[in-house]
Amino acid sequence: MIDWTSAMALTNIDARGREGEATVDVSAADVVGELKALRKGRAIFTTTLADRVGPALRTTCGIAEEDGTVEMRRKLFDRLRPLVESLPDDLKIALIAAFALDERARKPFYQERVHWAAITLDRDDRTVRRRIDEGIEQIAALAVAGAAEAGPRYPSRSWHTEELRVTLALDQPVAEAFEFRRVIADADEIAELDLALTLPAPGESGESVRESDLAVDVFHGGVLGRRVRESGDRFGLALRLPEPLRRGARHEIGLRFRANLREPRYLCVPRHPVDLFDLHVRFGENVPERIVRLEGVDRGETNDPAPPGAELEPDEAGEVHVRFRHLAPGFGYGIRWW
């Protein structure tokens, strides 16, 4: 059982940014053409997905050359679904059907999905096809605009985090966080990743974190090296890589953190930008009265009795899910609860 009045925060600090500005040479027309090809057959669930996804979608959805079908499908879904959700209801349902973005619409043929949308919207099939074309034009423009803004903003001479996915389980005897991170080398001969974790003390107690308060396990991607106390509440962690990375190379790591949580929050506070931070938090049966999304907040604001941020509603499993893009250095992103 977690005592919410004494539960703590685990703050995840990424130690590097990335270098230069990204150049996106993709037009909305390019994206429209590839989306119209993608909607055929089983759409994003086609077995020949790599043949359907051209350079425009690869750029706007962050798909790497080495990504397999499963990873490509996930990135397409993660990019397309939020864009589709931003559209008016009729266009949203039409595009959900076109790209099989909902389990109800995962039919093997495009025409079957069009007919499902027609029944759902109480329109004829021809009208739905027009809605699909209209919706594709709109999300293509949004995707290109988003990609143009997605370039890195701060220099790095070592490495940056392309994607950070964390699952935090608070319904365990000791809170556990599973972290899966993809990094990209911004220089040659990157042999070690410099990470850090902060366990803030409650209020103004000034209590220092103990070595036994934090356990770290490496699941894959390297060997945990030195562990240095950087301050009273923060540990620096060095992860030695299996082999040095060359500039532009990607590498994935999997870690587990177990900690005696002392403050009711979980934040990522990057020293340099993180492209994507995806966070799942499971409260289980001990759902707090209030959960707030924190985005781009100063660390001093995290203890504010009424911090700025949207309130989150846990699902039936007692879980919340938040996602952040292009994290600015020195600011906190995550959740707080009471």
pLDDT (tens digit, 9 = 90+) per residue, 123-173? 999 999 999 999 999 999 988 876 655 545 545 668 888 899 999 999 999
Does residue 190 carry a pLDDT above 80?
A: yes
Looking at the chain, the whole-number percentage of residues with pLDDT higher than 70 is 81
Task: Name the token pair of 151.
Answer: 């370039």
Secondary structure of 159-173 in HEC code, one letter for each residue:
EEEEEEEEEEECCCC
When mean pLDDT is compared across 15-24, 138-147, 175-184, 212-221, the lowest value belongs to 15-24
Does residue 333 carry a pLDDT above 80?
A: yes
Instruction: Give CATH 2.60.40 domain extents, the chain.
Output: 9-20+153-337
Can you give the pLDDT at residue 213?
Answer: 77
Can you give the pLDDT at residue 303?
Answer: 62
Ramachandran quadrant class, 43 (left: phi over 0; alpha: psi -120 to 50; beta: rest): left
> CA-to-CA distance for 112 and 93, rounded, in angstroms?
14
Can you give the pLDDT at residue 221?
Answer: 96
Can you give the pLDDT at residue 19?
Answer: 37
Can you give the pLDDT at residue 133?
Answer: 96
Looking at the chain, the whole-number percentage of residues with pLDDT higher than 90 is 45
pTM above 0.75, yes or no: no
Q: Which residue has the tokens 């220092």?
A: 208
What is the rounded average pLDDT for all residues in the chain? Answer: 83
Three-class SS of residue 280? strand
Q: pLDDT band for position 13 (50/70/90)?
A: low
CB 9 within 8 A of CB 262: yes
Can you give the pLDDT at residue 12?
Answer: 59
Q: How close are the terminal C-alpha atoms of the chain, in Å?
A: 15
Q: Which CATH class is domain 9-20+153-337?
A: mainly beta
